[in-house]
Amino acid sequence: MKKTILLVVGVILALAESPAFGQDDPQYVPGVWHYRSVACTDTTVRSVQPRLVSDGQKTYSRSDFEQSGVSVTFNTKLGADPAEPSVVAGVTHYQNTPGNDIMMSERSGDHVQVCFLGGPAPTKYCDPDKDGRGRLYRIYDYRQHAQYWGQNGEHDCGGA
């Protein structure tokens, strides 16, 4: 009987830690990460805005996000290019990308875990010391109990 009870408790705990319903991403383990081999840090959301904004635009409608995508920046330099001290970690998605609903629901100051999954390799087209794009992050939002992931720009290193 103890094994059955432990199994039920384990399932309940797993459900409490899983991403928001409809946002399950089988690519990554849900919940807060505590891996030694993956660099993660607890921080806060700095800003949330549509991927494309007009000059001087300060307020955004849901339609602005749905039509262009979402950009979220964080108050950490984890994984950022050390040669660019002003650059902070962030994730940018195009419209209709899985995880956009979570990103659109982020608020400045939300407590999140940012994990740096890696940067681009040097290629004939990409010098990661000169082009800070293409860094990949996985984000866990503590308030929403949900995760999303993506790279820090619209284009990869060496791209348009």
Please state the domain extents for the chain. Answer: 2-151
pLDDT band of 20, cuts 50, 70, 90: very low
pTM > 0.95: no
Q: What would the mean pLDDT of 26-43 be, rounded to a whole number? A: 90
Looking at the predicted structure, is the pLDDT value of residue 2 above 80?
no
Q: What is the mean pLDDT of residues 143-154?
A: 93
Position 76 pLDDT exceeds 60: yes
Section 70-90 average pLDDT:
88
Distance CA 54, CA 64 (A): 10
- CB contact set of 10 (below 8 Å; sequence gap of 6+): none
CA distances from 54 to 74, 76, 104, 139 (A): 21, 26, 18, 27
The pLDDT value given to residue 80: 81
Banded pLDDT at 24 (limits 50, 70, 90): low
The residues, any chain, with a CB within 8 Å of residue 105's CB and separated by 6 or more, are 144
- Is pLDDT of 36 > 60? yes
**Which run of H or E residues covers position 94?**
none
pLDDT for position 22 = 34
pLDDT digits (tens, 9 = 90+) for 48-75: 999 998 888 888 989 999 999 999 999 9
